[in-house]
Amino acid sequence: MVYDIAAPEPSGMVASLSSLGYSLPAAVADLVDNSISAGASSIDVEFTWAGRDSWVAVVDNGTGMTTDELVTAMTVAARGPAIVRSPTDLGRFGVGLKSASFSQARQLTVATAKTGDWSVRTWDLDVIEETGEWRLLRDADDSTTRILDALRGAAGQGTVVLWRRLTGYYYSDTVTEGDERTQKQFYAEAARTESHLGMVFARFLTGNSRCMRVLGTPVEPWDPFLSRHPSVQRLPVEQLRLGTGTVRVEAFVLPSAHRLPPTEYEKAGGPRGWLDQQGFYVYRRDRLILAGDWLGQRGLRREEKYNLARIAVDIPAETDVEWGVDVRKSSVVPPVGLRPHIRRIARQARRLASDVLRHRGQIAARTHGEPLRYAWHVRRDKDQVTCKINREHPLVRAALRSDGGSPGDVRALLRLLEETVPVTALRVMHETDTSDDPEPFGGAGPADPDATEVAQRIYEAMVTGGRSPAAARERLRTMHPFDQLQGFWNR
């Protein structure tokens, strides 16, 4: 075999590694992956604002590394997919630490200790670019050393990963420590990181003695499926065969807004909100790698009416290749053989989810021994959505009795109507088109007999109530919707 060695150019390699498109929360999550793989029971994420000198760090009490292990850890792709990993190892390509860090910072320093002796190594992207060599620095500058010392405290074991010269804040000389707006954005990123970690690592944080903090605040696990809520509907768990392994799929349909207190409903929406959090949640070794996505499947669009559908998928790490798990662990493509099942389960869950929203608008008024009756009827006829009160409803009938019904019946009816305004059903039916808003009595123009009849009744009620006919007429003329209609009151 004849060949040339064509090794990658370090500076170009660094540039491409750093442009994988990580968000800051996702990049921090990649560091936390490593801390969890190292068996850490305590993980602290720190953010410190200092203008151009701002920094971010992840501090863990995991196994730590020897100096040799640290050098290997810092080497790009030294532990690739070919090596055998323990079942609790969340890594895959041997790239995460570097690519996540380079996407956020020009300087990556790692300090680590296994048995009391701390080793430190630094990648400085300026040095790599200037020298064109993978020069892994053995010493750190004074201010870096001070930060590291403060972070590791008296611990004799663990790892500190420190990012300095953050690309998002370092780019310009004008960023100063006193820049309040940028400082706010910086700490907003910290808050986003906190909720992202709560979502991604929820399974590690639930019922576990592990503690994860962002800026000292414990990260709360976020359960996308509200699995402990009594009104959650679950489709049967499916175990799909893939090669020698099985993929576990469980679909959940969450309760609609009226079954949750407003704060809980908002929280259940998730870090990105209901619309962006519907769909599949893909887990690999209990780590969430994709949250709320329909996996690019044909015919499965994100729509508001499917907000309540969320589906957990557990993929065995041995099937990474089939799912195309990428470096960022943020994209997966379902294997061809599983796609029909994925689509079938998704459709089932979506149908159920939109049913829940639709029926929310038709809360049943159950009367003993009577069939199920709704106070409101929401319909879509041709391209119009209409919303009518059910004349057959027992309370409506009572109010319409020839003897006038009792004030109690009317009060009860009004209360029922107020309580069951079909807001959600209307929203769902209206979401795709906007031109179908119904207009009172068919919209502006000459009044039809129905409008005239209703106006006549209001007019009489006002006169009976003591108004002069002229005043009542004048009042009607300016009253919605009669101000839009031409009738006797406008003449």
Ligand X SMILES: Nc1ncnc2c1ncn2[C@@H]1O[C@H](COP(=O)(O)OP(=O)(O)O)[C@@H](O)[C@H]1O
List residues near ligand X by CB under 6 A: 34-35, 38, 60, 62-65, 73, 79, 91-98, 159
Tokens representing residue 289 in the block: 């790698």
Interface with Mg ion: number of residues (CB under 5 A): 4
Task: Give the shortest CB-153-to-ligand X separation in angstroms.
Answer: 16
Q: Measured at the alpha carbon of residue 44, what is the angle toward residues 42 and 48, in degrees to the nearest 5? A: 170
Residue spans of alpha helices (H) in 142-216: 142-152, 167-170, 180-200, 202-205
Q: Which of 10, 25, 64, 91 binds Mg ion (CB under 5 A)?
A: 91
Q: State how far the Cα of 64 lies from the Cα of 41, in Å rounded to an integer.
A: 12
Check: CB of residue 391 under 8 Å from CB of residue 397: yes
Q: Which is nearer to Mg ion, 33 or 293 (CB)?
A: 33
Task: Give the shortest CB-157-to-ligand X separation in angstroms.
Answer: 10
Residues 6 or more apart whose Cβ sits within 8 Å of residue 241 = 247
Q: State how far the Cα of 30 lies from the Cα of 48, in Å rounded to an integer.
A: 19
| CB closest to ligand X, residue no | 91
Would you count residue 194 as binding Mg ion (CB under 5 A)?
no
The stretch near Mg ion (CB under 5 A) out of 91-99, 157-165, 192-200, 463-471 is 91-99
Q: Which is nearer to ligand X, 17 or 428 (CB)?
A: 17
Task: Give the shortest CB-91-to-ligand X separation in angstroms.
Answer: 2
The stretch near Mg ion (CB under 5 A) out of 45-53, 96-104, 263-271, 369-377 is 96-104
Per partner kind, with CB cut-offs from 5 to 8 A, the member of Mg ion, ligand X, none near residue 60 is ligand X
CA distance readout (Å), 242 to 117, 142, 280, 290, 334: 45, 53, 18, 19, 11
Tokens representing residue 373 in the block: 């009756």
DSSP letter at 393 equals S
| Of 79, 154, 171, the residue nearest 116 (C-alpha) | 154
Task: Give the shortest CB-271-to-Mg ion separation in angstroms.
Answer: 22
Task: Give the shortest CB-97-to-Mg ion separation in angstroms.
Answer: 6
DSSP letter at 219 equals P
Would you count residue 104 as binding Mg ion (CB under 5 A)?
no
Phi, psi of 356 (to 5 degrees): -60, -45
Would you count residue 96 as binding Mg ion (CB under 5 A)?
yes
Per partner kind, with CB cut-offs from 5 to 8 A, the member of Mg ion, ligand X, none near residue 73 is ligand X
Task: Give the shortest CB-21-to-Mg ion separation in angstroms.
Answer: 17
Residues 6 or more apart whose Cβ sits within 8 Å of residue 214 = 44, 45, 47, 190, 191, 193, 194, 197
Q: Which is nearer to ligand X, 70 or 249 (CB)?
A: 70
SS3 state at 173: coil
SS3 state at 15: helix
Task: Give the shortest CB-110-to-ligand X separation in angstroms.
Answer: 7
| CB closest to Mg ion, residue no | 96
Q: State how far the Cα of 484 lies from the Cα of 180, in Å rounded to an integer.
A: 51
**10 Å Cβ neighbour count for 299?**
9
Q: Which is nearer to Mg ion, 28 or 476 (CB)?
A: 28
Which string of x and - marks every residue 25-54 that binds Mg ion (by CB under 5 A)? --------xx--------------------
Q: Which is nearer to Mg ion, 305 or 329 (CB)?
A: 329
For 284, what's the count of Cα atoms within 13 Å in the CB-facing half-sphere?
A: 24
Per partner kind, with CB cut-offs from 5 to 8 A, the member of Mg ion, ligand X, none near residue 292 is none
Task: Give the shortest CB-94-to-ligand X separation in angstroms.
Answer: 4
Task: Give the shortest CB-204-to-ligand X separation in angstroms.
Answer: 14
Per partner kind, with CB cut-offs from 5 to 8 A, the member of Mg ion, ligand X, none near residue 378 is none
Task: Give the shortest CB-285-to-Mg ion separation in angstroms.
Answer: 12
Residues 6 or more apart whose Cβ sits within 8 Å of residue 153 = none
Q: State how far the Cα of 383 lies from the Cα of 221, in Å rounded to an integer.
A: 44
Q: Which is nearer to ligand X, 34 or 277 (CB)?
A: 34
Q: Which is nearer to ligand X, 95 or 247 (CB)?
A: 95
Q: State how far the Cα of 431 lies from the Cα of 305, in Å rounded to an integer.
A: 8
Q: Which is nearer to Mg ion, 96 or 255 (CB)?
A: 96
Q: Which is nearer to ligand X, 164 or 285 (CB)?
A: 285
Amino acid at 303: E
Binding site for Mg ion (CB under 5 A): 33-34, 91, 96
